[in-house]
Structure 1
């Protein structure tokens, strides 16, 4: 059985804190996501616990009459617990050195490790199609797990929202959000 994962980056939000909600534009985008997925078979939805991620996929879940499963493994990556003036440079460096770890943060490698149990559960399950809703940094690291070419420049090119289709087994990756 061919399995597909739709990696979804959340819609536009009011900020970066875990409890930040979607903006009015973000709510419109969540409706656009529901329209986008309307004709696509989806068996399950797993999302980051962050409010903006749940709100992004809620219209899709309601439309498809699916429960939303929340998983901490999909939460945003913490680069550091300190305010960093040069955070963009450090983030870029963290894509080159997956084991680089800043004060109070997690390395790219550690963030990727949070995703692997979810991937294994999907592979072992009997579902054909899963939506995973997450955040830009972790989404790019997830793509990097499937294809090492994905990195910092791909993170910079992500939109809110964004959708990639990953076909398990063949390793085919497609950016399908317009």
Structure 2
């Protein structure tokens, strides 16, 4: 079993709601991302995306170029930190990287959000697909990367770009994570 999962963070967007579209620059980035992915020269078997508009718009040029269907998966949606507004939300977020079970009102703990995106990866590993793209959001992607590399934490989350691309290679029970995107 040799699997390649290309983990993509969406391009630049206007806002954080589920229906927030890409910016004009984000649409340009989506076309650049399509070219970048085409140059990887692997046959992508599946594209699984968060149903949030900015994620779909990010991968749409590539999917159309390759004449591929997009699969939507709610487990790839962004993590909800809280239903309460925090003026110090960055500090609150950092605390959830230190205590993975910390949960604020109306939100998800890091472990809860991590578990749902890891389920997507486990489903991919159990499938026949060899090369899969998943498109999601910075918060939940950082938790997936943390699952495979405990050194990937809050500071690394802050270093993610829009877009960003990581490759997760899984060979039996071994895995390797490599950042492919250079912004």
| TM-score, normalisation: structure 2 | 0.95
Looking at structure 1, the residues matched to 99 and 133 of structure 2 have their Cα atoms a distance apart, in angstroms, of 28
Looking at structure 2, the residues matched to 157 and 129 of structure 1 have their Cα atoms a distance apart, in angstroms, of 26
> Shift of the alpha carbon at 1:39?
3.0
**Consecutive unaligned residues in structure 2, runs of 5 or more:** none
SS at match of 2:39: coil
> Shift of the alpha carbon at 1:119?
1.3
Looking at structure 1, the residues matched to 89 and 38 of structure 2 have their Cα atoms a distance apart, in angstroms, of 38
Looking at structure 2, the residues matched to 7 and 116 of structure 1 have their Cα atoms a distance apart, in angstroms, of 12
Map 1:1-178; keep pairs closer than 5 Å: 1-40=1-40, 41=42, 42-169=44-171, 170-178=174-182
> Shift of the alpha carbon at 1:148?
1.2
Structure 1 stretches of 4+ moved >3 Å: none
> Shift of the alpha carbon at 1:150?
0.7
> Shift of the alpha carbon at 1:146?
1.0
- Alpha-carbon RMSD across the aligned residues, in angstroms, is 0.9
Looking at structure 1, the residues matched to 5 and 148 of structure 2 have their Cα atoms a distance apart, in angstroms, of 11
Looking at structure 1, the residues matched to 166 and 118 of structure 2 have their Cα atoms a distance apart, in angstroms, of 17
Number of aligned residues: 178
> Shift of the alpha carbon at 1:111?
0.2
> Shift of the alpha carbon at 1:116?
2.5
**Cα displacement string for residues 10-42 of structure 1 (whole angstroms, at most 9, x for unaligned residues):** 000010000000000000000011000113321
Looking at structure 2, the residues matched to 123 and 105 of structure 1 have their Cα atoms a distance apart, in angstroms, of 28
Looking at structure 2, the residues matched to 129 and 151 of structure 1 have their Cα atoms a distance apart, in angstroms, of 26
Higher alpha-carbon deviation: 87-96 or 119-128 = 119-128
| TM-score, normalisation: structure 1 | 0.97
